[in-house]
């Protein structure tokens, strides 16, 4: 048997599986792409200072968002609290027949 035919056969089987299991294929492509992106980013750092600067830049927006949300917690204080698990008695008051 020719080695080219074996390779083409395995390739056809792989393409067929990828088409049938397209969701898993997209997940695999996403994981491989994310891994490559992270590797390239880490590989681009010259020293530890670059890494620290990058992490501080990445964490700045969430820290600002959390600080802003914590500062504005009184905006809805006039509303009554909603129970996490309302009982049937609570639900009966809200349902109209």
Q: What are phi and psi for residue 46, nearest 5 degrees?
A: -85, -40
3-state helix, strand and coil shares in percent for the chain, rounded to the nearest 5: 75, 0, 25
Residues 6+ apart with CB under 8 A from 64: none
Whole-structure pTM value:
0.48
C-alpha span between 27 and 90 (Å, rounded): 43
Please report the pLDDT score of residue 57 as a whole number.
83
What pLDDT is attached to residue 55?
85
Q: In angstroms, rounded to a whole number, what is the distance separating the alpha carbons of residues 41 and 54? A: 10
Mean pLDDT of 71-82: 60
């Amino acid at each position: 048997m020719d080695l080219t035919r074996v390779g083409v056969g395995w390739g056809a089987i792989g393409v067929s599986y990828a088409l049938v299991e397209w969701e898993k294929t997209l997940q695999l492509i996403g994981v491989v792409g994310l891994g490559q992106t992270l590797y390239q980013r880490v590989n681009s750092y010259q020293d530890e200072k670059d890494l620290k600067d990058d992490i501080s830049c990445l964490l700045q927006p969430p820290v600002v968002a959390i600080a802003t949300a914590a500062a504005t917690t009184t905006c809805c204080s006039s509303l009554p609290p909603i129970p996490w698990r309302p009982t049937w008695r609570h639900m009966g008051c809200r349902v109209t027949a």
